[in-house]
Structure 1
Amino acid sequence: MKFGHAFIKIWLLVSFITLVVAPPLTGWYMRYDRNKDMEENFFNTAEQLRAKKNYDGAIAVYDFIIENGTDGYEAISGKKIVEADRDSYYTKATGFL
């Protein structure tokens, strides 16, 4: 009978760790130890799209960065700059020519 009780205690401990402790630690690790190079690549892609005058593509990349929470403040400011470029009178006037 003692083996059954020990097995149940071990099973409950493993289940508790798997279901309660591990998921928050995994989320914390993914949030704070993210890949900085990947973040840089996204920002470089957005800047390249902006340089090619593909404003909608750059805005989509910034939206992706904001939604995934990698670096929201820098992405929001970059998105506002691209939207201002896209909506400027110069861009609209040269689009007709």
Structure 2
Amino acid sequence: MSDIVFFLTTLHSEEVREAYETWVKEVDQPLADNLPGVDRYRVVRLSGPVMDGVALPTYSYIEIIELSDLELYKQSIATAPPDFFDQFRSYIADFDAVAGTVVQ
């Protein structure tokens, strides 16, 4: 079975969107791509509902991290430089992080 981690994030404000997306491309993506246990990493900007009656999402982005080994990922993310998380929090007002398993 495949494990996936989702970071559901909300920006501090729309004013940081461009800087955040640059940081994702230049810092976050390279770090994630080199972490043991990570098979694929993507960040998706949410734009809005696709069906009538569905509310606008409260999150700004979803990070999708496909893993070969969840425990290895947890260990490796703990070794990220402390300033990485400070940078992350400078853009992100709120986030949830959850793991899931692909239903096959």
| TM-score for both structures, normalised by structure 1 | 0.28
Structure with the bigger percentage of helix: 1
The structure with the largest alpha-carbon Rg is 1
**Highest relative contact order (Cα 8 Å, sep 6+), 1 or 2?**
2
Structure with the bigger percentage of strand: 2
